Amino acid sequence: MAAEDDPDADETGTNDPDPAEGDLDTSELTRVADLDAFEDVDRIIVDVEGREIAVFAVDGEFHAVSNYCVHQGGPVCEGMLSGGLSVEDPANADDRAELDYSYADRLVSCPWHGWEFDVVTGEHLARPKYRLPTYDVVVDDGAVYLDA
C-alpha cells in the first residue's frame, strides 16, 4: 500500500510515529538524493531496476509515481507541473458556484498527449479509473529514499 493510501502513515511514508533521525534501516530502499537537491528542482527521476520513477516535492512533502503514462507509454513525469481549477458548489442554491485554483504544483501533464495526473494520488484528472502507480517515499538523515 502506498503511503498516500495509508491513513496511519506519517510524512516520512512510514507508520513509525516518531522514527529517530538516522535510525531507519535504509538498506532495502533506493536512495534518490539529499534533501537539499530538491531546493532548485520540483522532481527527480530515478531508475529502479529498469523502472523510471519520479519523486516530486509538493508543499514540503514527497510523492513518487511511475514515469510511464498509462495512455501510450510516454514519459509523463517529464511534463509540465501545474495546478487546476475546481468548482465549489454554493451552500445556497441562489448563489453562484465559484472556481477555485487548487492542486497547486501537483498536476503533471504528459508531454506526448497532455494527459494530466495528480502526483499525490496518481489519478488521472478526468478519468480516475486510470492512474499512475504510486510509491512510498521515506526521508531519513537528510536524504530521500524510495520504497519501490
Which domains does the chain carry? 3-147 (2.102.10.10)
What type of residue is 27? Answer: S
The pLDDT value given to residue 110: 96
Global pTM reads 0.74
At 130, list the grid cell: 486510470
Residue 19 has pLDDT above 80, yes or no: no
Residue 46 CA neighbour count, 13 Å, CB half:
18
Contact between residue 27 and residue 145 where contact means Cβ atoms under 8 Å apart: no
Q: How far apart are CA 44 and CA 54, in angstroms?
A: 6
Rg of the chain over all Cα atoms, to the nearest angstrom: 17
Residue 10 has pLDDT above 50, yes or no: no
What does the pLDDT look like over 53-66, one tens digit per residue? 999 999 889 999 99
Picking from 12, 51, 42, the residue whose alpha carbon sits closest to that of residue 144 is 12
N- to C-terminal Cα separation, the chain: 11
What does the pLDDT look like over 89-147, one tens digit per residue? 777 767 777 777 666 778 999 999 999 999 999 999 889 899 999 999 999 999 999 99
Contact between residue 26 and residue 32 where contact means Cβ atoms under 8 Å apart: no
